[in-house]
Amino acid sequence: MKSPRFLLASALCFALLSAAWAATVPAKSNLTAATVYLDRAVVTRSAALDLAATGLTEVVFEKLPANLLDQSLQVAGHGVAQVTILDVTARAAYVDFTPNERVKALEDELRSLGKQRRVLDDRAAVLKSQEATLGHFEAGATAAPTKDSAPRLSIEEATKLLVFLEEQRGRIAAEKQTLSTQTEDLTAKTDAAQRQLNELRGAGGRSYKTVTVRLDTTTPGALDLALSYAVPGASWAPSYDARVNSGEKTIALAYSGLVRQNTGEDWKDVALTLSTARPSLGGAAPALTTWGLDVFLPRPVPVAAMMDSASAIRREAKAVTWSAGNQSMNMQAFTTGGTLSLAAEPAPAEKDAGFATATMEAAATSASFKISTPASVPSDNSPQKVPITTAALAANPEYLTTPKLQSAAFLTAKVVNSSAFPLLAGAMNVFLDGTFVATSGLRTVMPGEKFDLALGADEGISVKHKRVNRFTEDTGLTGSGKRITYEYLLTIQNNKPTAARVIVADQLPVSRNEKVVVKQLAPDAKDVKPTAEGALKWTLDLKPAEKRELTLKFSIDYPNDVQVSGLDP
């Protein structure tokens, strides 16, 4: 029986011989597909191989992104050749040059711009020296003569000197202006190239990964080999354009995806897929831990501290008694945004501060959108807008307005998602009659689900809110009470050529104390009933050019000996 040591040595020798016999084939691959998630992407490289012999073959994919996730590597093959995929290995490689072509091109451009800038700076220094020389020459030629100096210039010579100085200084000034313009242009180009380089350097670096795929070929022939791997630095977000025409009951909704990537590789004419899956969440729901309850046991307080605390309490009690006997307590009114309350209510009891609770969000669905045409997305984080689908959605348009807060009517539509696509939460641009009017947002809506679509303000509906009366009077036989009556006028006018439904919202104040009584005078509570929070709503169907006036009137009764907060001035 052979010893384990002999078997191990034999296995190592076989492995070394196998490695020596393996043929190395560089893979001339191209990026052919990319699936983009919310926080990463899975890309696929394809290589066409011609395996001429049987045995072991090492297919090498070079200069792949350094930040690709090793555990995500996947290999698939299809062709005439019969092969067995043995393993796949990723190794980091470090070089003294930049393997990313776009990063290298920007670095070369910055070096070239730097050389041009130095040439301009050198020329500016020469001009400065020439300008100084002219100044010295002029000073020497016009200085008062001395015993050892040259005689004073004649008028003709001085005239020629002035003409020469003017020409030279004019030439220097013109060249300096040209240099200044060229310097500004170079600075702008340098800043732009530096910004692009900063965007790309995160995925560029001076390292990359080499992936080696070992194959065991039994039948030679052609083989298409596909290598897939995940890379961070890619994402996509939904984007919508909603187009509405007045008088129509349909909304043209364009659904697109905004794709960004900085993975270190440019995607050129790839089969692009957008996925709503979130791999970072993991595959299983989190497990619950024990929710335990226990009796709170306060920390023991030393006897000396208890005595000091008791003495302090007695001193505070005496001070409060003196203050209550010698001073009167003032009641103050606090504005609470339309809610009426008594300012003399007792102060709330003190409690220990609580802890904030985080909110967990979980995706309910997952879908993939395959883009119909090949797409190109450069690795510079610039947004690339790719269309997903368009849909004509039936809608019931109506206007919502709250004149008390804003004199504008906002177009909304009750819509049903009749498409087969889930509409994910995202930003939306709204166009009304071909004019961009607002930015809005869309929540996640599944196929067949009803939802409200906010379409922005429409100036075609005129809204006004005015207080026409505020009357204060005494009540009771002895004038022990007070009543304040408010009256508001709401004016709504349809200036559009088509009929419009307008829902008008306003409110009554809500009493939080039985001593304060609010009574609705107009409209009649039978016609417009307020909610528990005092909200009132009118539904108006307005014809073209029709104007409606709504009256809101109410009274507030309360005793004279209380001060009410929340009253309008």
- Does the pLDDT at position 306 exceed 60? no
Residue 362 has a pLDDT of: 33
> Amino acid identity, residue 539?
T
Q: 399 near 494, Cβ under 8 Å?
A: no
Instruction: Calculate mean pLDDT across residues 54-62.
Output: 91
For residue 358, what pLDDT band results from cuts at 50, 70 and 90? very low
Position 17 confidence tier, pLDDT thresholds 50, 70, 90 = very low
Q: Are 209 and 62 in contact (CB under 8 A)?
A: no
Half-sphere exposure of 466 (CA within 13 A, CB side): 7
Q: Looking at residues 514-524, what average pLDDT do you find? A: 93
Average pLDDT score over residue span 408-430: 90
User: Average pLDDT for residues 103-114, to the nearest whole number?
Assistant: 81
- pLDDT tens-digit profile of 377-401? 988 888 999 999 888 999 888 999 9
Least confident of 49-58, 200-209, 245-254, 364-373: 200-209
Please tell me the predicted confidence (pLDDT) of residue 550: 96
Using a 10 angstrom Cβ sphere, with 0-12 exposed, 13-18 middle and 19 or more buried, the burial of residue 29 is: buried
CATH class of 461-565: mainly beta
- Cβ contacts of 528 within 8 Å, gap of 6 or more: 536, 537, 538
Q: Can you tell me which residue has the tokens 């083989």?
A: 223
**Boundaries of every domain in the chain:** 17-96+206-232, 101-144+156-204, 235-266+380-457, 461-565
Confidence of residue 205 (pLDDT cuts 50, 70, 90): low
Mean pLDDT of 261-275: 90
Q: Which two tokens stand for residue 434?
A: 């071909």
Lowest mean pLDDT among 102-116, 368-382, 419-433: 102-116
Statement: residue 322 has pLDDT above 50: no
> Dihedrals φ, ψ of 440, to 5°?
-140, -165
Tokens for 118, please give them: 């130095």
pLDDT band at residue 111 using 50, 70 and 90 as cut-offs: confident
Kindly report the average pLDDT of the chain as a whole number.
Answer: 80
Burial of 360 (0-12, 13-18, 19+ CB in 10 A): exposed
Higher pLDDT, 385 or 336: 385
Residues listed for the chain: 569
498: pLDDT strictly greater than 80: yes
Confidence of residue 325 (pLDDT cuts 50, 70, 90): very low
At position 310, the amino acid (one-letter code) is A
Give the residue among 388, 398, 413 at the shortest CA–CA distance from 243.
Answer: 413
Confidence at residue 32, expressed as pLDDT on a 0 to 100 scale: 94
Q: What share of the chain is helix, strand, coil (3-state, %, to 5)?
A: 25, 45, 35
Going by pLDDT thresholds of 50, 70 and 90, the confidence category of residue 167 is confident
pLDDT band, residue 533 (cuts 50/70/90)? very high
Residue 232, pLDDT score: 92
CA–CA separation, 542 and 549 (whole Å)? 12
User: Residue 309: its pLDDT value, please?
Assistant: 54
pLDDT the model gives residue 478: 75
CA distance 331 to 327: 13
What CA–CA distance (Å, rounded) separates 175 from 79?
67
pLDDT digits (tens, 9 = 90+) for 438-465: 888 899 998 899 998 888 888 899 999 9
User: What is the per-residue pLDDT for 534?
Assistant: 93
Same fold yes or no, 17-96+206-232 and 461-565: yes
pLDDT in tens, 470-486: 999 998 777 789 999 99
SS3 463: strand
Q: Alpha helix locations (H) across 205-302?
A: none
Percent pLDDT > 90 in the chain is 34
Mean pLDDT of 247-273: 89
Whole-number Å distance between alpha carbons of 426 and 408: 25
Answer CATH for 17-96+206-232 from 3.40.1710, 1.10.1240, 2.60.40, 1.20.950? 2.60.40
Per-residue pLDDT, averaged over 411-430, amounts to: 90
